[in-house]
């Protein structure tokens, strides 16, 4: 089972990195939008 998970992660490492970057961008957008009212 662990070898299967390891091979899946190795095969989809580029996709996982892109997904992580997208999730980080969404969190950043959320944090910025939540702080916008306090800037005015």
Helical (H) or strand (E) element with 38: helix 13-39
Distance separating alpha carbons of residues 19 and 26, to the nearest angstrom = 11
pTM: 0.65
Segment 1-40, tens digit of pLDDT: 889 988 988 888 889 889 999 999 999 999 999 998 887 6
Q: What is the pLDDT of residue 37?
A: 87
Q: What is the pLDDT of residue 23?
A: 97
Q: What is the pLDDT of residue 31?
A: 95
Q: What is the pLDDT of residue 38?
A: 84
Contact 31, 38 (CB under 8 A): no
Q: What is the pLDDT of residue 3?
A: 93
């Amino acid at each position: 089972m662990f070898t299967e998970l390891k091979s899946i992660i190795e095969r989809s490492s580029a996709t996982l990195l892109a997904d992580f970057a997208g999730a980080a961008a969404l969190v950043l957008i959320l944090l910025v939008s939540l702080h916008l009212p306090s800037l005015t």
